[in-house]
Amino acid sequence: MSDIVLKEVSKSFGTVSILEKVSMHIKSGEFIVFLGPSGCGKSTLLRMIAGLEQVNDGEIYIGGERVDQLPPNERGVAMVFQNYALYPHMSVRDNMSFGLQNVGTPKDEITRRVDDAARMLEITQLLERKPAQLSGGQRQRVAIGRAIVRDPKAFLLDEPLSNLDAGLRVRTRLELAQLHNRIKATMIFVTHDQTEAMTLATRIVVMNNRGIEQIGTPMEVYSRPATRFVASFVGSPAMNFLPVSALSDAGGQANVAFGGQNSLQTAIPASGLGKGQYTLGIRAESARITYGEGGIEATVDVVERLGERTLVYARLSDGAPIVAEDAGLSGVNAGDVVRIALDGKAAILFDESGRAFHAAA
């Protein structure tokens, strides 16, 4: 078993606090993604697990053993860096075997491990080349292969796709997902790219402001965000946020008034809502352009045609912005007055602290 457990881990550089009392339990075989904006502490947290940064407070356990006082080479983890970190004068084979040679692994065992990893990553034909003779995607495969041959308890990947072009990122992302399915190893992947997180993760750890905002499966984080920050950070386009002018109880569920004379019946229990200012949150796919009666009126600012769907950026009568969705062959144009049908069952309310209130599960 290679569970990874963090107990109230904190980190600061001088007087600057980076992470405060971060706790989580990563189960053996999970693909965990640390997702968050630049500066939120996700790479620092990964480096603390690897042993490349000291822990100021708290405890880290890997496979049931406390490791926060151990050097990196005794933690049983392998790290894949953003910049590949390959030795330019060595062949691919030598790059992959170098770490094993340093710890005295028998030559025949090194050969077996390198050959097995090369077959798995489809780089057997590259073993005698130097890094300068490889593409960016091939170098990243070599870096991953170097980690695989160590047979670690966990793989730690620090934004490994960020140096690749868009097309290669997509292919390498799929290869990583397939690799995880084959080897069933524990993986922790750091990124600020929500598409990578949604594609790869068993669970996503959304980080912000020195701590964790939410831990959940990709669809839990997307459909039932715990906070307004998560709702705004995960999803493209970002969730619509509309100021609520009044709340009322309609058969036990919240009815909200917003955007001038508009109102929406939600499926959110009214009993859980206290006094104070609320914001209505709804995603673009739950705000559809309607060509019949009903819906709310808005004036179109920009139309973004994406092929399979069209995003309509508009404004309500009180000036509040809203993004709605229409069919790929939409005839809507900038300047049009349209009607938008909102799905109240998909609506979320956020209080002044950013806490989310959802429809009953």
What is the tens place of the pLDDT at every residue in 97-142? Answer: 998 888 888 999 999 999 988 988 888 999 999 999 998 888 888 9
Domain span holding position 280: 240-357
Query: Do 154 and 122 belong together in one domain?
Result: yes
- State whether 317 and 194 are in the same domain: no
Q: For residues 122 and 138, what is the distance between their CA atoms, to the nearest angstrom?
A: 10
Tell me whether residue 235 is in a domain. Answer: no
Q: Could you give phi then psi for residue 179, rounded to 5 degrees?
A: -60, -45
Q: Do the Cβ atoms of 84 and 139 come closer than 8 Å?
A: yes
Residue 149 C-beta-side C-alpha neighbours within 13 Å: 32
Whether the CB-CB separation of 284 and 311 falls below 8 Å is answered with yes
205 and 246 belong to one structural domain? no
CA 346 – CA 286 distance, rounded (Å): 7
Q: Both 195 and 268 in a single domain? A: no
Closest by CA to 257, choosing from 267, 245, 274, 271, is 245
Q: How confident is the model at residue 293 (pLDDT cuts 50, 70, 90)?
A: confident
Band of pLDDT at residue 21, cut at 50, 70 and 90: very high
Q: What total of structural domains would you count in the chain?
A: 2
Residues 229 and 208 sit within 8 Å (Cβ to Cβ): yes
Q: Is residue 314 part of a domain?
A: yes
- The verdict on residue 99 lying in a domain is yes
Q: What pTM did the predictor assign? A: 0.89
Q: Give the list of residues 6+ apart from residue 280 with CB closer than 8 angstroms, or none.
A: 240, 241, 242, 243, 244, 256, 258, 264, 347, 348, 349
Q: Which of 205, 207, 136, 147 is nearest to 180 (CA)?
A: 147
Q: How confident is the model at residue 61 (pLDDT cuts 50, 70, 90)?
A: very high
Last residue of some domain: 195, 226, 257? 226
pLDDT of residue 341: 95
Residues 213, 335 within the same domain? no
State whether 147 and 11 are in the same domain.
Answer: yes
Longest dimension (CA), the chain: 77
Same domain, 295 and 189: no
- Whether 127 is covered by a domain: the verdict is yes
Q: What is the mean pLDDT of residues 72-87?
A: 86
With CA atoms as reference, report the closest residue to 324 among 237, 233, 245.
237
For residues 229-242, average pLDDT: 94
CATH number at residue 262: 2.40.50.140
CA dihedral 183, 188, 194, 196 (to 10 degrees): -30
Looking at the structure, tell me whether residues 50 and 123 fall in a common domain: yes
**pLDDT score at 44:** 94
CA distance 302 to 280: 22
Query: pLDDT (tens digit, 9 = 90+) per residue, 266-288?
Result: 999 999 888 889 999 999 999 99
User: Does 266 lie in the same domain as 302?
Assistant: yes
High-pLDDT (> 70) share of the chain, %? 100
Look at 18-22, 270-274, 310-314 and tell me which has the smallest mean pLDDT. 270-274
Confidence of residue 1 (pLDDT cuts 50, 70, 90): low
What mean pLDDT do residues 10-27 have?
Answer: 94
Which distant-in-sequence residues (6+ apart) come within 8 Å of 29 by Cβ? 2, 184, 185, 186
202, 226, 250 - which closes a domain: 226
Dihedral angle at the C-alpha atoms of 98, 99, 105, 107, nearest 10 degrees?
-20
For residue 43, give the CATH number of its domain: 3.40.50.300
Nearest Cα neighbor of 156 from 72, 88, 237 is 72
pLDDT of residue 261: 83
Residue 173 and residue 52 share a domain: yes
On whether both 254 and 196 belong to a single domain, the answer is: no
Does residue 183 sit in the same domain as residue 94? yes
Q: Which among 226, 256, 282 is the end of a domain?
A: 226
* Mean pLDDT of all residues belonging to the chain: 91
- Residue 176 pLDDT grade (very low, low, confident, very high; cuts 50, 70, 90): confident
Q: If DSSP codes are grouped into helix, strand and coil, which group holds residue 36?
A: coil
How far is the C-alpha of 17 from the C-alpha of 8, rounded, in Å? Answer: 14
Whether the predicted pLDDT of 175 surpasses 90: no
Kindly state the average pLDDT of the residues 155-168: 82
**Peptide bond between residue 160 and the one before it cis (omega within 30 degrees of 0):** no
For the chain, what percentages of helix, strand and coil (3-state, to nearest 5) are there? 30, 35, 35
